[in-house]
Amino acid sequence: MTMPREVLQALEADVRRLLAAGAGIAAGDEGLRRRADALREFGRKIPALAQVAAAVERVTAAAPAQATGPFLDLLVLVGQVRAGLSLAGWEGALSETEPSGPWATEALARDVQHLLAAMQASGQKRANVLEEAEGAVLHDLRLLQPLLALSETAHGELDDLLVARVLPQVGLTILPGLWRALCRDRRKAVWRLVIICRSHPAVGLELCRLALADDDLMLREGALSTIGEIRAGAGSLTPALVRGLRDAARTERALYARALGKIGPAARDAVPALCAALQDESPYVRIAAAEALGQIRSSGALPALAAAVNDPTAAEVKRAAERASARIQNPR
Protein backbone atom coordinates (compact mmCIF):
# COMPACT_ATOMS: atom_id res chain seq x y z
CA MET A 1 0.00 0.00 0.00
CA THR A 2 1.35 3.40 -0.95
CA MET A 3 1.94 5.67 2.05
CA PRO A 4 1.66 9.50 2.15
CA ARG A 5 5.40 9.79 2.72
CA GLU A 6 6.11 7.88 -0.50
CA VAL A 7 3.66 9.98 -2.50
CA LEU A 8 5.23 13.22 -1.25
CA GLN A 9 8.74 11.98 -1.99
CA ALA A 10 7.73 10.97 -5.51
CA LEU A 11 5.97 14.31 -6.01
CA GLU A 12 9.05 16.27 -4.92
CA ALA A 13 11.20 14.25 -7.34
CA ASP A 14 8.73 15.00 -10.14
CA VAL A 15 8.69 18.70 -9.31
CA ARG A 16 12.47 19.01 -9.32
CA ARG A 17 12.74 17.06 -12.59
CA LEU A 18 10.16 19.29 -14.27
CA LEU A 19 11.79 22.43 -12.85
CA ALA A 20 15.06 21.50 -14.51
CA ALA A 21 13.25 21.06 -17.83
CA GLY A 22 11.22 24.28 -17.53
CA ALA A 23 8.05 24.98 -15.57
CA GLY A 24 5.99 25.42 -18.74
CA ILE A 25 5.90 21.69 -19.45
CA ALA A 26 4.49 21.02 -15.96
CA ALA A 27 1.12 22.45 -16.99
CA GLY A 28 -1.07 19.52 -17.93
CA ASP A 29 1.53 16.93 -16.85
CA GLU A 30 -0.24 13.60 -16.35
CA GLY A 31 2.23 12.45 -13.72
CA LEU A 32 1.43 15.46 -11.55
CA ARG A 33 -2.30 14.86 -12.02
CA ARG A 34 -1.94 11.30 -10.72
CA ARG A 35 0.00 12.56 -7.67
CA ALA A 36 -2.81 15.08 -6.99
CA ASP A 37 -5.43 12.29 -7.09
CA ALA A 38 -3.48 10.22 -4.56
CA LEU A 39 -2.88 13.20 -2.26
CA ARG A 40 -6.54 14.17 -2.40
CA GLU A 41 -7.46 10.75 -1.00
CA PHE A 42 -4.96 11.07 1.86
CA GLY A 43 -6.11 14.66 2.38
CA ARG A 44 -9.43 13.43 3.78
CA LYS A 45 -7.53 12.51 6.94
CA ILE A 46 -4.47 14.77 6.69
CA PRO A 47 -5.51 18.34 5.77
CA ALA A 48 -1.96 19.42 4.90
CA LEU A 49 -1.93 16.91 2.04
CA ALA A 50 -5.15 18.40 0.67
CA GLN A 51 -3.29 21.72 0.44
CA VAL A 52 -0.59 20.06 -1.64
CA ALA A 53 -3.17 18.43 -3.93
CA ALA A 54 -4.77 21.86 -4.51
CA ALA A 55 -1.36 23.37 -5.28
CA VAL A 56 -0.66 20.62 -7.82
CA GLU A 57 -3.99 21.29 -9.49
CA ARG A 58 -3.16 25.01 -9.79
CA VAL A 59 -0.03 24.03 -11.70
CA THR A 60 -1.69 21.56 -14.05
CA ALA A 61 -4.55 23.99 -14.75
CA ALA A 62 -2.25 26.90 -15.62
CA ALA A 63 -1.31 27.92 -19.14
CA PRO A 64 2.34 27.02 -19.92
CA ALA A 65 3.41 30.68 -19.94
CA GLN A 66 1.85 31.25 -16.49
CA ALA A 67 2.97 28.00 -14.82
CA THR A 68 6.21 29.20 -13.22
CA GLY A 69 4.66 31.01 -10.24
CA PRO A 70 2.28 28.22 -9.11
CA PHE A 71 4.98 25.66 -9.85
CA LEU A 72 7.53 27.30 -7.54
CA ASP A 73 4.85 27.81 -4.88
CA LEU A 74 4.25 24.05 -5.07
CA LEU A 75 7.96 23.36 -4.61
CA VAL A 76 8.03 25.45 -1.42
CA LEU A 77 4.83 23.87 -0.06
CA VAL A 78 6.05 20.31 -0.64
CA GLY A 79 9.21 21.05 1.34
CA GLN A 80 7.25 22.63 4.16
CA VAL A 81 4.69 19.85 4.42
CA ARG A 82 7.29 17.09 4.28
CA ALA A 83 9.30 18.77 7.04
CA GLY A 84 6.23 19.41 9.19
CA LEU A 85 4.74 15.95 8.83
CA SER A 86 8.05 14.31 9.67
CA LEU A 87 7.55 15.67 13.21
CA ALA A 88 3.76 15.64 13.46
CA GLY A 89 3.31 12.10 12.19
CA TRP A 90 0.82 10.86 9.62
CA GLU A 91 -2.26 10.74 11.82
CA GLY A 92 -3.56 14.12 10.67
CA ALA A 93 -2.46 16.22 13.65
CA LEU A 94 -1.00 18.82 11.31
CA SER A 95 -3.76 20.88 9.69
CA GLU A 96 -1.58 23.53 8.09
CA THR A 97 2.06 24.59 7.99
CA GLU A 98 3.11 27.84 9.59
CA PRO A 99 6.29 29.75 8.63
CA SER A 100 7.50 29.57 12.24
CA GLY A 101 8.01 25.82 12.05
CA PRO A 102 9.13 23.58 13.60
CA TRP A 103 11.01 22.24 10.60
CA ALA A 104 13.15 19.15 10.31
CA THR A 105 16.28 20.77 8.90
CA GLU A 106 20.00 20.40 9.47
CA ALA A 107 20.45 23.98 10.72
CA LEU A 108 21.02 24.34 14.45
CA ALA A 109 18.28 26.20 16.29
CA ARG A 110 20.77 28.69 17.78
CA ASP A 111 22.02 29.64 14.30
CA VAL A 112 18.49 30.21 13.04
CA GLN A 113 17.59 32.27 16.13
CA HIS A 114 20.76 34.33 15.65
CA LEU A 115 19.66 35.28 12.15
CA LEU A 116 16.08 35.93 13.20
CA ALA A 117 17.34 38.27 15.92
CA ALA A 118 19.61 40.04 13.43
CA MET A 119 16.68 40.69 11.12
CA GLN A 120 14.92 42.53 13.95
CA ALA A 121 17.99 44.70 14.61
CA SER A 122 19.15 47.65 12.57
CA GLY A 123 22.33 49.22 11.29
CA GLN A 124 25.57 47.62 10.15
CA LYS A 125 25.37 44.69 12.56
CA ARG A 126 22.33 43.31 10.78
CA ALA A 127 24.02 43.62 7.40
CA ASN A 128 27.20 41.94 8.68
CA VAL A 129 25.30 38.98 10.14
CA LEU A 130 23.29 38.47 6.95
CA GLU A 131 26.36 38.79 4.75
CA GLU A 132 28.22 36.13 6.73
CA ALA A 133 25.28 33.70 6.90
CA GLU A 134 25.99 30.36 5.28
CA GLY A 135 23.71 28.84 2.70
CA ALA A 136 23.09 25.79 4.91
CA VAL A 137 21.43 27.99 7.51
CA LEU A 138 19.60 30.19 5.03
CA HIS A 139 17.96 27.10 3.52
CA ASP A 140 16.15 26.57 6.84
CA LEU A 141 12.45 27.05 6.12
CA ARG A 142 11.98 28.93 9.41
CA LEU A 143 13.79 31.85 7.73
CA LEU A 144 11.78 31.83 4.52
CA GLN A 145 9.02 34.26 5.45
CA PRO A 146 11.21 36.59 7.59
CA LEU A 147 13.72 36.94 4.76
CA LEU A 148 10.99 37.73 2.24
CA ALA A 149 9.38 40.21 4.63
CA LEU A 150 12.73 41.95 5.21
CA SER A 151 13.36 42.16 1.48
CA GLU A 152 10.04 43.98 1.06
CA THR A 153 11.02 46.75 3.48
CA ALA A 154 14.80 47.00 3.05
CA HIS A 155 16.38 50.02 1.40
CA GLY A 156 19.79 51.08 0.19
CA GLU A 157 22.77 48.80 0.82
CA LEU A 158 20.70 46.32 2.82
CA ASP A 159 18.35 45.87 -0.13
CA ASP A 160 21.32 45.29 -2.44
CA LEU A 161 22.80 42.77 -0.01
CA LEU A 162 19.55 40.81 0.33
CA VAL A 163 18.75 40.64 -3.37
CA ALA A 164 22.22 40.09 -4.77
CA ARG A 165 23.89 37.94 -2.11
CA VAL A 166 21.61 36.61 0.63
CA LEU A 167 18.35 35.54 -1.01
CA PRO A 168 20.03 33.62 -3.87
CA GLN A 169 21.70 31.38 -1.26
CA VAL A 170 18.27 30.14 -0.23
CA GLY A 171 17.94 28.61 -3.68
CA LEU A 172 15.06 28.01 -6.05
CA THR A 173 12.44 27.72 -3.30
CA ILE A 174 12.54 31.48 -2.85
CA LEU A 175 12.58 32.32 -6.56
CA PRO A 176 9.14 34.03 -6.75
CA GLY A 177 10.05 36.38 -3.91
CA LEU A 178 13.53 36.98 -5.31
CA TRP A 179 12.04 37.78 -8.72
CA ARG A 180 9.71 40.36 -7.18
CA ALA A 181 12.60 41.90 -5.25
CA LEU A 182 14.75 42.01 -8.37
CA CYS A 183 12.04 43.75 -10.39
CA ARG A 184 11.21 46.27 -7.68
CA ASP A 185 14.10 48.52 -8.73
CA ARG A 186 14.52 48.21 -12.50
CA ARG A 187 17.55 50.50 -12.47
CA LYS A 188 19.50 47.98 -10.40
CA ALA A 189 17.96 44.83 -11.84
CA VAL A 190 20.61 44.19 -14.49
CA TRP A 191 23.72 44.44 -12.33
CA ARG A 192 22.01 42.46 -9.58
CA LEU A 193 21.21 39.77 -12.14
CA VAL A 194 24.88 39.72 -13.21
CA ILE A 195 25.98 39.20 -9.59
CA ILE A 196 23.47 36.40 -9.07
CA CYS A 197 24.46 34.64 -12.30
CA ARG A 198 28.11 34.75 -11.28
CA SER A 199 27.67 33.58 -7.70
CA HIS A 200 24.56 31.35 -7.96
CA PRO A 201 24.28 30.14 -11.58
CA ALA A 202 21.27 27.85 -11.03
CA VAL A 203 19.24 30.68 -9.49
CA GLY A 204 20.50 33.11 -12.14
CA LEU A 205 19.43 30.71 -14.87
CA GLU A 206 15.83 30.64 -13.62
CA LEU A 207 15.78 34.43 -13.17
CA CYS A 208 16.96 34.84 -16.77
CA ARG A 209 14.20 32.48 -17.87
CA LEU A 210 11.62 34.64 -16.10
CA ALA A 211 13.14 37.84 -17.51
CA LEU A 212 13.03 36.54 -21.08
CA ALA A 213 9.29 35.89 -20.68
CA ASP A 214 8.64 39.33 -19.18
CA ASP A 215 7.00 42.20 -21.05
CA ASP A 216 9.63 44.63 -19.74
CA LEU A 217 12.21 45.38 -22.45
CA MET A 218 14.85 46.41 -19.90
CA LEU A 219 14.57 43.10 -18.04
CA ARG A 220 14.75 41.10 -21.28
CA GLU A 221 17.80 43.00 -22.45
CA GLY A 222 19.39 42.55 -19.03
CA ALA A 223 18.90 38.79 -19.22
CA LEU A 224 20.29 38.65 -22.75
CA SER A 225 23.39 40.56 -21.72
CA THR A 226 24.08 38.40 -18.64
CA ILE A 227 23.51 34.90 -20.03
CA GLY A 228 27.24 34.57 -20.64
CA GLU A 229 27.79 34.71 -16.87
CA ILE A 230 26.00 31.37 -16.37
CA ARG A 231 28.60 28.64 -16.37
CA ALA A 232 26.34 25.59 -16.64
CA GLY A 233 22.82 24.87 -17.80
CA ALA A 234 22.50 27.92 -20.05
CA GLY A 235 21.81 25.59 -22.98
CA SER A 236 18.31 25.05 -21.56
CA LEU A 237 17.52 28.66 -22.52
CA THR A 238 18.11 27.90 -26.20
CA PRO A 239 14.41 27.38 -27.15
CA ALA A 240 13.40 30.72 -25.59
CA LEU A 241 16.27 32.50 -27.32
CA VAL A 242 15.40 30.95 -30.67
CA ARG A 243 11.83 32.18 -30.31
CA GLY A 244 13.14 35.66 -29.59
CA LEU A 245 15.47 35.52 -32.57
CA ARG A 246 12.55 34.70 -34.83
CA ASP A 247 9.80 36.85 -33.32
CA ALA A 248 11.39 39.85 -31.57
CA ALA A 249 11.61 43.35 -33.01
CA ARG A 250 14.55 44.07 -35.25
CA THR A 251 16.38 46.01 -32.53
CA GLU A 252 16.27 42.97 -30.23
CA ARG A 253 17.02 40.14 -32.66
CA ALA A 254 20.75 40.86 -32.66
CA LEU A 255 20.77 40.61 -28.85
CA TYR A 256 19.15 37.18 -29.00
CA ALA A 257 21.71 36.02 -31.54
CA ARG A 258 24.60 37.26 -29.39
CA ALA A 259 23.13 35.53 -26.34
CA LEU A 260 23.08 32.23 -28.24
CA GLY A 261 26.70 32.79 -29.15
CA LYS A 262 27.59 33.31 -25.48
CA ILE A 263 26.14 29.89 -24.66
CA GLY A 264 28.49 28.34 -27.22
CA PRO A 265 28.36 24.69 -28.36
CA ALA A 266 25.52 23.94 -25.89
CA ALA A 267 23.27 26.05 -28.16
CA ARG A 268 23.77 23.70 -31.11
CA ASP A 269 20.00 23.34 -31.57
CA ALA A 270 19.88 27.02 -32.54
CA VAL A 271 22.05 26.56 -35.63
CA PRO A 272 19.13 26.34 -38.14
CA ALA A 273 17.54 29.51 -36.76
CA LEU A 274 20.88 31.35 -36.81
CA CYS A 275 21.52 30.22 -40.37
CA ALA A 276 18.11 31.61 -41.33
CA ALA A 277 19.02 34.86 -39.55
CA LEU A 278 21.93 35.27 -41.97
CA GLN A 279 19.20 36.39 -44.41
CA ASP A 280 17.70 38.93 -42.00
CA GLU A 281 16.88 42.37 -43.37
CA SER A 282 19.10 43.98 -40.74
CA PRO A 283 22.87 43.76 -41.29
CA TYR A 284 23.36 43.97 -37.51
CA VAL A 285 21.31 40.79 -37.05
CA ARG A 286 23.25 39.07 -39.85
CA ILE A 287 26.56 40.01 -38.25
CA ALA A 288 25.42 38.81 -34.82
CA ALA A 289 24.14 35.53 -36.29
CA ALA A 290 27.45 34.89 -38.07
CA GLU A 291 29.44 35.60 -34.92
CA ALA A 292 27.18 33.30 -32.88
CA LEU A 293 27.62 30.46 -35.37
CA GLY A 294 31.36 30.87 -35.03
CA GLN A 295 31.09 30.55 -31.26
CA ILE A 296 28.79 27.51 -31.43
CA ARG A 297 31.21 25.90 -33.92
CA SER A 298 28.84 23.54 -35.72
CA SER A 299 30.03 22.33 -39.12
CA GLY A 300 26.39 22.27 -40.23
CA ALA A 301 26.54 26.07 -40.45
CA LEU A 302 29.33 26.15 -43.05
CA PRO A 303 27.11 26.17 -46.20
CA ALA A 304 25.03 29.09 -44.90
CA LEU A 305 28.18 30.97 -43.88
CA ALA A 306 29.71 30.35 -47.30
CA ALA A 307 26.67 32.00 -48.88
CA ALA A 308 26.95 34.92 -46.43
CA VAL A 309 30.55 35.48 -47.45
CA ASN A 310 29.16 36.63 -50.81
CA ASP A 311 26.78 39.13 -49.17
CA PRO A 312 26.85 42.06 -51.62
CA THR A 313 25.21 44.57 -49.26
CA ALA A 314 27.48 44.68 -46.22
CA ALA A 315 31.22 44.16 -46.07
CA GLU A 316 31.10 43.65 -42.31
CA VAL A 317 28.68 40.73 -42.74
CA LYS A 318 31.15 39.15 -45.15
CA ARG A 319 34.03 39.55 -42.69
CA ALA A 320 31.96 38.13 -39.82
CA ALA A 321 31.00 35.10 -41.93
CA GLU A 322 34.65 34.55 -42.94
CA ARG A 323 35.80 34.69 -39.32
CA ALA A 324 33.04 32.28 -38.24
CA SER A 325 33.90 29.79 -40.99
CA ALA A 326 37.57 29.92 -40.06
CA ARG A 327 36.76 29.35 -36.41
CA ILE A 328 34.62 26.31 -37.19
CA GLN A 329 37.17 24.76 -39.53
CA ASN A 330 40.14 25.50 -37.29
CA PRO A 331 39.01 25.87 -33.64
CA ARG A 332 42.57 26.64 -32.53
132 shares a domain with 181: yes
How many CA atoms are closer than 13 Å to the CA of 76, on its beta-carbon side? 24
- Give the domain range for residue 126: 105-231
* CA–CA gap between residue 191 and residue 276 (Å, rounded): 32
181 shares a domain with 132: yes
Instruction: Find out whether 92 and 132 touch, Cβ atoms under 8 Å.
Output: no
Could you tell me if residue 93 is inside a domain? no
CATH number for the domain spanning 248: value is 1.25.10.10
Could you tell me if residue 81 is inside a domain? yes
Q: How confident is the model at residue 103 (pLDDT cuts 50, 70, 90)?
A: very low
**pTM for the whole thing?**
0.66
Could you tell me if residue 44 is inside a domain? yes
**pLDDT at residue 297, as a whole number:** 92
**pLDDT at residue 102, as a whole number:** 39
Number of domains composing the chain: 3
* CA–CA gap between residue 230 and residue 192 (Å, rounded): 14
**pLDDT tens-digit map of 189-245:** 989 999 999 889 989 999 999 999 888 888 999 999 899 888 778 899 999 999 999
**pLDDT tens-digit map of 143-169:** 777 888 888 888 888 888 889 888 898
143 shares a domain with 181: yes
28-46: average pLDDT: 75
DSSP annotation string for 93-150: ---S--TT-----SS-HHHHHHHHHHHHS-SHHHHHHHHH--HHHHT-GGGHHHHHHH
- The top-scoring range by mean pLDDT among 63-67, 75-79, 244-248, 310-314 is 244-248
Say if residue 92's pLDDT is above 70: no
